[in-house]
Structure 1
Amino acid sequence: MRKTQLALLTLCATVVAGFVTITPAAALDYPWCARGGEYDYPGECAYSTYEQCQASVSGRLLYCDRNPRFAYGQQQIPQPRPHRRARPAAPY
C-alpha cells in the first residue's frame, strides 16, 4: 500500500512539473502563405521560400501568395516627437 501511494505521488509530481514547464508555441510569420480551400485570410504562413510553399500546396487545390505582413512592410510607425516649446523671452 505504501509503495502504491509513493508511486502515485511521484506520478502526480511529474505531471504537475510537466504542466509548469509548458510554454506557448511561438507564432512565427514567414514570407509565403498557402491560401484557398480550408484556410482563411491570410492563409497558412509557414513557408520561408516560394518553392517550399509550392511543394506543400501541390495537389491540394491551394495557391501560394506573399504574406501581407511582409509584402506591405507592416512595421511600427514611429511616434511623432513632441514639439519643444521655446521659452518666452524674459522682459528686460
Structure 2
Amino acid sequence: MFNRHYFTTRRLALGLSVEELAGEIMVAPSTVYRWESGETSPNLRTLIRVSRSLRVPLHALAEQAGGDESTTRAIQPAEIHRIAKENNDER
C-alpha cells in the first residue's frame, strides 16, 4: 500500500512543490494531489520514478495495511528490476 504521508513529508523536506515533483516524474500536478489526498496511488512503474526523485528506497514509499499481508501487494524484486531496466532503456 502506498504511504502517502511519507510521500508528502519527503516531498516537503526536499523543498519540492507539487508542480516541480510532477514535472520530474512526468505526471500532472493533479495526479500528485490525488496521491497525497489518498484518492489514488501510483502504479509500480511510476513509484520507481517517485523513489528516484525523492531519493528514497522504493520500500520506504510502501506500508503494510494493518499487518494484513493479504491486502498488501508484494513488490517482487524481479519485477522491480525489470521495470527499472525498461525505464533506463527508454532514456
Tell me if both proteins adopt one fold, taking TM over 0.5 as the criterion.
Answer: no
Please indicate the TM-score interval, normalised by the length of the shorter structure.
Answer: under 0.3
Structure with greater helix share of residues: 2
Structure with greater strand share of residues: 1
Looking at CA atoms only, which structure, 1 or 2, has the larger radius of gyration?
A: 1
